[in-house]
Homo-oligomer: A and B are copies of this chain.
Amino acid sequence: MTPFGILEDSIIELAQKAAIEALIDSYTIEFPIDYLIVGTQNPEEFTGQGHLSTLLADYVGVVPAGATRVETGPSSGSSAFESAVALVGAGMADLVLVIGVEKMSQVARNTASKILSRMLSYENEILYGATPTALAALMTRRYMHDFGLTRDELSLIPVKAHRNGAKNPLAQFQKEVSVEQVNNSTIIADPLRLYDCCATSDGAAAAVIASNKAVREYGLSDSVIKILGIGHGTDYLAVQHRTSLTSMNATRVAAKNAFRMAGVEPSNVDVCELHDAFSILELLNMEDIGLVEKGSAIEAVKNGSTDVSGAMPVNSSGGLKARGHPTGATGVAQVRDIVLQLRSNAPKGLQVADPIIGLTHNIGGFGNNMVVGIFSI
């Protein structure tokens, strides 16, 4: 993956850098790539550049491979990964290159927010001024009411994210923050403050998915991480139509499907990357995936379980909050960070002790297009 942040590179250069690194890292650069799958949310409006499937097939040198662009909002990278897994699983491909990329800083921040708000329901939300941040604030308030979560407790989540991000050389924000700094940062949508919300980012990440046959014939086994399961779920588009403000059913469905396919249980997960675009989401995700009991996620944060040195480290990369969130890139970056963990090759100070099973969780629309991946050494 490239560094995440506000970058000089064009969307094409970002994608190229990540792709070439993935092909080299996976020892597949000399072998035929059957498909390229590109996950990207809205390059047309963020950059004026469309048709990234063919364009990148040409610019990363995989012509005449089939090339497809996949889009599910901010989980576009995970959905691209899922499509690639399906192609290999169906025997339609032996090597698939997946690129997740977004270049969000080319437009003004207000324009970027407007583009991102497209994921909401026009008639039920946008028309009344709702934004993703406002909806996250609503869910935070309800969670505080139902489970007694305090502002100081909520602040522990960005504090942990920044503590990890400070050690991740590719993270957008490589500095620690304190509970006081979070508590006193600008209010974005009450009760959410600046440090509760991920920033606008540019960046790309890439991965190569190989069939068992390709692994064997090309001698790739030394670098392989296994994909055990993948699951995907949706919910009603408008938050007001859903059954809960403190749980996301799309995550529950995605996780259930992924665990069933993988044949493992939530208790088997040793390390995970969860979609913490807003602080509250990290708690919801832990609970909806089944890593902790409903209402008890903050206890796991407080007692250190989710730290790098804890029993169930969450977002050792810094997460969306500190690593950054170039939307279409995030899902593939999560896979990349879990791969590094499972190879025991994470950056200094971020390596979890001997993980065997890793999990990724990416959110598409606001509470939709959840994709959960489960990986093992």
Interface residue ranges, A against B (CB under 8 Å): 35, 42, 44-45, 49-51, 53-55, 57-59, 62-73, 79, 82-83, 85-92, 118-119, 121-122, 230-237, 241, 249-250, 253-254, 257, 261, 364-365, 368-369, 371
Contacts and interface: CB of A to CB of B under 8 A. Distances in A.
Given A53-B234, A65-B233, 18 more contacts: A42-B44, A49-B122, A53-B71, A54-B119, A55-B121, A63-B234, A64-B250, A66-B233, A66-B369, A67-B232, A67-B369, A68-B79, A68-B82, A85-B92, A86-B86, A87-B90, A89-B89, A92-B230
Contacts of A63: 234-236
A237 B364 contact: no
A91 B88 CA distance: 11
A53 to B, nearest CB: 5
Contacts of A233: 64-66
A196 to B, nearest CB: 23
28 contacts: A42-B44, A44-B44, A44-B45, A51-B118, A51-B119, A53-B71, A53-B234, A54-B73, A54-B119, A54-B237, A54-B364, A55-B237, A58-B237, A58-B241, A59-B237, A62-B234, A63-B234, A63-B235, A64-B233, A66-B82, A68-B71, A70-B70, A70-B71, A71-B71, A85-B90, A85-B92, A86-B87, A86-B89
Given A54-B365, A54-B369, A234 B118 contact: no
A264 to B, nearest CB: 17
A69 B68 contact: no
Secondary structure class of chain A's binding surface, majority of residues: mixed
A58 B90 contact: no
A198 to B, nearest CB: 18
A67 B234 contact: yes
A234 B64 contact: yes
Contact of A253 (B64, B69, B92): B64
A261 B92 contact: yes
Nearest to A57: B234
Contacts of A241: 58
A273 B213 CA distance: 34
Contacts of A45: 44-45
A226 to B, nearest CB: 15
B64 A72 contact: no
B119 A65 contact: no
Across chains A and B, which 9 residue pairs bring their CB atoms closest together, nearest first?
A89-B90, A66-B232, A50-B118, A86-B86, A54-B368, A64-B253, A90-B90, A58-B237, A54-B365
A131 B276 CA distance: 43
Nearest to A68: B79
Given A44-B44, A68-B83, A83-B83, A51 B249 contact: no
Contacts of A65: 233-234
